[in-house]
């Protein structure tokens, strides 16, 4: 693969986009309200915060739902076929809403659009879409929308560049919690995965830009940050000097935000230096999302993951030794091409051996253009479905056992909202990444509360409050 350099969006280019924002504000035919529909991972959730930020600056207000908005934008995912189908189904359904509101503008962006051939497909097959753009030209939303409003014809633009744009407007979903992107794209090319094709080459943000953003968040009262990247462990590659993820964490810690977490980590790049930072840190939460994907060495090799089962287990042991009780979660794919029952059993035994707090399990979904999609021996749906069911059942059981370690333990919960089951209870995540329910009310939302876990009820940790020691 040819070396591609990131394209840093300059201040002038951003100023140009600001002028488009002003122009939209002055247009009589501009949409007055917006609604963002988000699919996929945290990257997309965070991009949607940027989209909302830009739309607000254009003078639009957030609508209560998609049926009552003048501008609806779908931020899509294509990591698996069902993610893509769901997005396209919902976009198509919106055509009906346009019958009530003829001025409705339908926009689609994100990973699905960035796939090769998608722009042509939209222009031919999805003529009702007004505006479509990929992941790398997100910062150009003002310009593209302006064009759409002035020219009154579909605007579909997908560029093949690896951009980094700093200082975009942003409307954060929460006041107490914030995402910070530390790197974009991915260079790993796991053989099943489309992300490197739709998010571009791996590129790290400058450390100073990340630290400045974190300081500003701290000042605005944010209590928890989540650092985002497809492979945060390789942060710093391509930057000048000896910049590592562990080094970035050390610097972030000095800023004093009480809770720091990150995702996603790739086992092959999980360094001893990082484990050491986790061991000594007070702010980095004792939790780790470490996708394993499979428990069999041959399958791991076919997946192009660059680690063996033993190496993975070794990292798990090192993490547990350094941070006793650490919360471990993972991603697993079943039914990868050629996976035999025996090889699947290796995944089962690994799940048992590790004892994850939770696992995201997926049936392998062939993605056009990836290496695995061309592999012979694709696994029939019924076999894959049977395997995932057995895996989920096993994980449920392991999860129960893993959860029991929390009973009697003191924890700190960042309260996210009222509990769904009771009006006098609230819930949020503990330091280990597990949801905890405790007595409380609306005024606790956004606060960190000290608790003691008392029992497990319906798979949820229940806790009592501990009075603050003065
Ligand atoms: N960068 C992260 C996550 C990427 S996508 C990582 O390396 O782990 C999130 C998860 O989706 C992956 O961990 C993988 O388990 C799953 N996934 C990716 N491509 C898939 C495919 N083609 N079929 C099924 N699951 C897939
Ligand atoms: Fe996909 Fe692998 Fe990159 Fe994760 S590390 S985004 S699974 S290619
Ligand atoms: Fe999906 Fe794109 Fe994330 S494909 S998982 S939204 S990076």
Which residue intervals of 109-151 are DSSP H helices? 111-114, 118-125, 141-151
456 token code pair: 């497990």
According to the model, what pLDDT value does residue 395 have?
98
According to the model, what pLDDT value does residue 233 have?
96
According to the model, what pLDDT value does residue 5 have?
85
Cα of 336 from ligand 2 centre, angstroms: 15
Residue 305 lies in a domain: no
Q: Is the CB of 204 under 6 A from ligand 2?
A: no
48 token code pair: 């949607």
Q: 389-399, pLDDT tens digit by residue?
A: 999 999 999 99
Q: 337-353, pLDDT tens digit by residue?
A: 999 999 999 999 999 99
Task: Give the residue-averaged pLDDT of 378-396.
Answer: 97
State if pTM tops 0.85: yes
Report the alpha-carbon distance of residue 12 to residue 10 in Å, rounded. 5
pLDDT-above-70 percentage for the chain: 99
Q: Is the CB of 188 under 6 A from ligand 2?
A: yes
According to the model, what pLDDT value does residue 152 have?
80
How high is the mean pLDDT of the chain? 95
Task: Give the residue-averaged pLDDT of 293-305.
Answer: 98
| Residue that finishes a domain, picked among 265, 285, 305 | 285
Question: Does residue 264 have a cis bond before it (omega within 30 degrees)?
Answer: yes
| Residue that finishes a domain, picked among 406, 424, 447 | 406
According to the model, what pLDDT value does residue 246 have?
97
Range of the domain at 453: 407-465
Domain count, the chain: 4
Beta-sheet pairing, 131-133 with 105-110: parallel
Residues 333 and 411 reside in one and the same domain: no
**Residue 52 predicted with pLDDT over 70:** yes
341 sits in which H/E element? helix 341-354
Helix axes 341-354, 309-322, angle to 10 degrees: 10
Report the alpha-carbon distance of residue 394 to residue 351 in Å, rounded. 8
Name the band, by pLDDT with cuts 50, 70 and 90, for residue 1: low
According to the model, what pLDDT value does residue 190 have?
98
Is residue 156 classed as helix, strand or coil in its secondary structure? strand
Task: Give the residue-averaged pLDDT of 173-202.
Answer: 96
Q: 437-463, pLDDT tens digit by residue?
A: 999 999 999 999 999 999 999 889 999
Q: Is the CB of 231 under 6 A from ligand 2?
A: yes
Residue 309 lies in a domain: no
Q: Are 204 and 230 in contact (CB under 8 A)?
A: no
Cα of 434 from ligand 1 centre, angstroms: 21
CATH of the domain at 269: 3.30.750.210
CATH of the domain at 442: 2.40.50.140
Token pair 């975009």 is found at 168
What is the rounded end-to-end Cα distance, in angstroms, of the chain? Answer: 60
- As beta bridge partners, residue 106 has 72
2 token code pair: 């040819």
Name the band, by pLDDT with cuts 50, 70 and 90, for residue 332: very high
Q: Is the CB of 230 under 6 A from ligand 2?
A: yes
């Amino acid at each position: 693969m040819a070396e591609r350099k990131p394209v840093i969006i300059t201040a002038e280019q951003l100023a140009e986009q600001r002028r488009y924002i002003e122009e939209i504000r002055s247009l009589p035919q501009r949409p007055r309200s917006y609604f963002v529909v988000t699919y996929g991972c945290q990257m997309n959730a965070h991009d949607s915060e940027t989209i909302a930020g830009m739309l607000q600056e254009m003078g639009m207000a957030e609508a209560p739902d998609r049926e009552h908005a003048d501008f609806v934008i779908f931020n899509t995912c294509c990591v698996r076929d069902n993610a893509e189908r769901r997005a396209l189904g919902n976009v198509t359904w919106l055509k009906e809403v346009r019958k009530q509101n003829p001025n409705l503008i339908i926009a689609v962006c994100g990973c699905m659009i960035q796939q090769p051939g998608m722009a042509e497909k939209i222009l031919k097959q999805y003529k009702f879409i007004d505006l479509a753009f990929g992941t790398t030209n997100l910062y150009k939303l003002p310009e593209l929308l302006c064009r759409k409003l002035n020219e009154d014809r579909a605007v579909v633009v997908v560029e093949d560049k690896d951009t980094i744009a700093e200082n975009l407007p942003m409307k954060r979903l929460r006041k107490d919690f914030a995402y910070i992107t530390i790197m974009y794209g991915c260079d790993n090319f796991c053989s099943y995965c489309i992300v490197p094709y739709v998010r571009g080459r791996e590129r790290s943000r400058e450390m100073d830009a990340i630290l400045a953003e974190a300081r500003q968040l701290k000042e605005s009262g944010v209590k928890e940050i989540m650092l985002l990247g497809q492979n945060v462990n390789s942060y710093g590659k391509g930057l000048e000097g000896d910049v590592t993820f562990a080094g970035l964490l050390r610097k972030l810690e000095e800023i004093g935000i009480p809770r720091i977490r990150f995702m996603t980590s790739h086992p092959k790049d999980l360094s001893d230096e990082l484990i050491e930072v986790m061991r000594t840190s007070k702010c980095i939460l004792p939790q780790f999302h470490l996708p394993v994907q499979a428990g069999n060495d041959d399958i791991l090799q076919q997946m192009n993951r660059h680690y063996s089962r033993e190496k993975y287990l070794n990292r798990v042991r090192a993490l547990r030794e350094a941070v006793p009780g650490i919360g471990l979660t993972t991603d697993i794919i079943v039914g990868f091409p050629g996976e035999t029952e025996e090889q699947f059993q290796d995944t089962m035994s690994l799940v048992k051996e590790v004892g994850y707090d939770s696992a995201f399990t997926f049936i392998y979904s062939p993605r056009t253009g990836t290496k695995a999609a061309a592999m012979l021996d694709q696994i029939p749906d019924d076999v894959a479905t049977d395997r995932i069911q057995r895996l989920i059942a096993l994980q449920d059981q392991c999860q129960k056992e893993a959860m029991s370690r929390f009973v009697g333990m003191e924890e700190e919960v960042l309260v996210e909202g009222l509990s769904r089951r009771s009006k006098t209870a609230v819930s949020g995540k503990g330091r280990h990444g597990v949801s905890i329910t405790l007595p409380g009310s609306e005024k606790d939302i956004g606060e960190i509360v000290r608790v003691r876990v008392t029992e497990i009820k319906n798979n949820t940790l229940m806790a009592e409050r501990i009075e603050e020691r003065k």
